Amino acid sequence: MRKILITPRSLTSAGHPAFDLLNEAGCQVIFSTPGKQPDESELMDLLPGCVGYLAGVETVSAKVLEAAKDLKVISRNGTGIDNIDMDAANRLGIQVCRTEGANARGVAELTVGLIFALVRAIPFSDAQLKNKQWERRKGIELENRTLGLIGCGEIGKRTALLAAGVGMKVIAFRRHPDPAFSPDNFSYVSLEDIFKRSDIISLQCPPLASGKPLIDKEALSKMKPGAYLVNTARASLVDPVAVRDALETGHLSGVAVDVFDQEPPVDYGMLSNSRVIATPHIGGFTTESVDRATTRAVENIINVLNQK
C-alpha cells in the first residue's frame, strides 16, 4: 500500500474523517508522535517509504527530503510553506501543495479576539480577580481607531471586514494590492503609513526572504506611542528583544502573539509580562478550519498521486 505520513498536531491526536478518503484510495495512513511536532530525527525515521506527506509547521529540511526517495507530494494543511526547503523539493521533483484560505476565518477571528483582549486588558483583569486582587486598567474603544494590516491576503481581508464591523478604520500594506477588495473604511497604504498611523498593527504576512525581522527597533520607533501589536503569522517577523524593550518603556501598550520560533517555546521570558497575551498557535485550530484544511490537504494528495 502507498504510505502517507500525517504530522500536524491537531490530526495526530484526534485523527479525521477525511483520512477515509486516503484509505479508499488504497493508501496506508501513518502518524508521527501524537500531539507533538516532529523533529528532523523523527521525520528521518518515518518519511522514507512514504509517497505522500500531510505536513504541519515542522521544519522539513533538504536532508529529510533527500532521504524520502519515494516521496511524490507534500500537502500543507495551511498556507505557509516557509518551513519546507523548497529548493530541495523542486530539485527532487516533489510537488508541494497548500490549502490557501482554509484557515483564514479562524485566524481572522482569533486576531480580532486578541485585539479586544489587548485593548480591554481582559486576561490581566481575569488573572487579578482570580488572585483576589481588585485592579483595573483603563481600556480604549475600537470605534474610529485605526487597524494597520501588514499583509492582506485571505486572512487579512477577513480581518479587515470583521474590524470594520465594529467601526474601525482599516489600512493595509500589500505588495500587490487587490483592486477588487475595497470595502468601506478600508484603503491600501505604504508600510511607512502603517507604522505612523495605526493604533493597532496586525501581522498577517509571510516571513521576509532575508530572514530578518520586519518589526525591529527602527520599525517600532516609527509607531505611535501606546500602539498595540498582534502577531498571528510567523515569529521570525518580530525582534523579541526590541519588542520587550518597547513594552518596558511603554512605547507599546500591549502585544499579542500566537506563534513562536519553537513550539512549545523554549524561552518564556517575555510571556511573563502582564501586557503580553500569548496563545499556543491556535489561529487555525477551530473545528471548521481543521475540517476545511484537512479535507483539502487530503484531496491534494490524492489528486497528485492520481497524476503520477
Q: What is the pLDDT of residue 263?
A: 87
Number of separate domains in the chain = 2
DSSP string, 228-239: EEEE-S-GGGB-
Look up residue 216 and give its three cell numbers: 525591529
Cβ–Cβ under 8 Å, residues 73 and 51:
yes
Percent helix / strand / coil, the chain, rounded to 5: 40, 20, 45
Cβ–Cβ under 8 Å, residues 95 and 304:
yes
Q: What is the pLDDT of residue 195?
A: 98
Given the residues 40, 154, 263, 299, the one annotated as active site: 263
Q: Are residues 87 and 14 in the same domain?
A: yes
Q: Are residues 59 and 27 in the same domain?
A: yes
pLDDT tens per residue, range 82-102:
899 999 999 999 999 999 899
281 is catalytic: yes
Q: What is the DSSP-derived secondary structure letter of residue 60?
A: B
- State which residues form the domain around 58: 2-100+287-307
Q: Are residues 243 and 292 in the same domain?
A: no
Single-letter code of the amino acid located at 154? E
DSSP string, 205-218: SPPPTT---SB-HH
Number of other residues whose CB lies within 10 A of the CB of residue 101: 16
Q: What is the pLDDT of residue 265?
A: 87
Q: How far is residue 162's CA from residue 174's CA, in Å, rounded to a whole number?
A: 18
Given the residues 98, 174, 281, 292, the one annotated as active site: 281
Q: Residues in the chain with pLDDT < 50?
A: none
Q: Are residues 176 and 262 in the same domain?
A: yes
CATH code assigned at 242: 3.40.50.720
Q: Are residues 139 and 47 in the same domain?
A: no
Q: Are strands 186-188 and 169-173 parallel, antiparallel or unpaired?
A: parallel
263 is catalytic: yes
Q: Are residues 67 and 120 in the same domain?
A: no
16 is catalytic: no
Q: Are residues 48 and 155 in the same domain?
A: no
Q: Are residues 174 and 64 in the same domain?
A: no
pLDDT tens per residue, range 120-141:
999 999 999 999 999 999 999 9
Single-letter code of the amino acid located at 253? S
Q: What is the pLDDT of residue 257?
A: 97
Q: Are residues 90 and 109 in the same domain?
A: no
Look up residue 228 and give its three cell numbers: 498595540
Q: Are residues 124 and 45 in the same domain?
A: no
Helices (H), the chain: 9-12, 19-24, 40-46, 62-67, 86-92, 104-119, 122-130, 154-165, 191-197, 217-222, 240-249, 287-307
Q: Are residues 134 and 200 in the same domain?
A: yes
Given the residues 234, 275, 292, 296, the one annotated as active site: 234
Cβ–Cβ under 8 Å, residues 58 and 83:
yes
Q: Which residue, 222, 210, 117, 106, is CA-closest to 173?
A: 222
Look up residue 300 and give its three cell numbers: 491534494
Predicted TM-score (pTM) of this structure: 0.90
Q: Are residues 246 and 122 in the same domain?
A: yes
